[in-house]
Amino acid sequence: MLMQKKSSLKPLLIPLTAITAGSFWISHKLFNVAFKRVNYVPETSKEKQKYADSYYEYVDWFHKVPSETWYLNDRSSENKVVATYIPAAQSTTKTVIISHGYKGNRETMANYAKMFHDMGFNALVPDDRGHGESSGDYITFGWLDRLDYLKWINRVINYIGTDSQIVLFGVSMGGATVEMVSGESLPSQVKALIADCGYASIREELIYLLKQQYRLPKYPVEPLVSEINKRHSGFYLGSASSVDQLAKNDRPILFIHGGKDTYVPVKMAYENYRATKAPKQLWIVKNATHAESFWYDPEAYRRRVQGFLKTYL
């Protein structure tokens, strides 16, 4: 009877083995596509290509404006992080630290840097791990980057002085990075946070994109990708949560999100908003897609940001 049972299992073992092998292959492929660094900035969405001329005008400004290059761990080939520091036209204690989006770099935040520069701020714009000129083979979606931003905050305080007034600002992955930083023990010089279209957690965003873009199930792909990420970057995806970090936040925060965002769904903006008990505002830009809120109406965007900051600076 035992031999018969073993024999009867053979037809099942072959497809089960194939399914398991296929799941591992898909998960590794997906991890490499989503988490491995690329040394170029992918083309923007069709919705935002109409802003290309304006975008490159901002980029030209970014490269021409007087600036300095700052480093963290500049002697480490594995941990070096690079940033551009743009001093305000007139001396000020106000500094914004700007966090870029997924597979972007500091140049892609030129429009925001100029907006804050025109508002009288110093601007520090880093390349995150696995992006631009910074080191790292893998993208950590804000979770390990949040530790770098704590160092950038202290670098600004040491450079400007203890009377610094610091704003953290980010878009997309950068928005989530700001939200993830918010739960850490922040110096009193950090006065306000602005998070534009940040996701609720890396895990939730991955599960959403698995369904929307790849038509793949949550199981077993997400747990396998999480395990791969643990081996490469040292953390499981479930531990990297904007919502959990925002629950510990005590700084005023403005959430911005496009009402037609299908990359980071607008429901995540409400999740993030509900998570924090600090003073907060939520602005849904009704007709904007992902990371389009500034481009949809730059003047309205500036007014909203400036109005928020006038309350806390």
Q: What is the pLDDT of residues 22-61, one digit of tens each?
A: 677 889 999 999 999 999 899 888 888 999 999 999 999 9
Strand order of the β-sheet with 68-72 is 68-72, 81-86, 122-127, 94-99, 165-171, 190-196, 253-258, 280-285
Is there a cis peptide before residue 15, judged by omega within 30 degrees of 0? no
Quick: pLDDT tens for 129-151: 999 999 999 999 999 999 999 99
Look at the block and give the residue holding tokens 């989503």.
Answer: 34
Look at the block and give the residue holding tokens 């490269």.
Answer: 63
Architecture of domain 41-201+244-312: 3-Layer(aba) Sandwich (3.40)
pLDDT mean over 187-206: 98
Kindly give the residue spans of alpha helices, DSSP state H, lying in 36-131: 52-64, 110-118
What pLDDT score does 117 carry?
98
In the chain, residues under CATH classification 3.40.50.1820 are: 41-201+244-312
Q: Is the per-residue pLDDT at 19 higher than 90?
A: no
What pLDDT score does 12 carry?
43
Backbone torsions φ then ψ of 261, nearest 5 degrees: -75, 120
pTM, to two decimals = 0.92
- Band (pLDDT 50/70/90 cuts) for residue 1 is very low
Count of beta carbons in the 10 Å neighbourhood of residue 212: 12
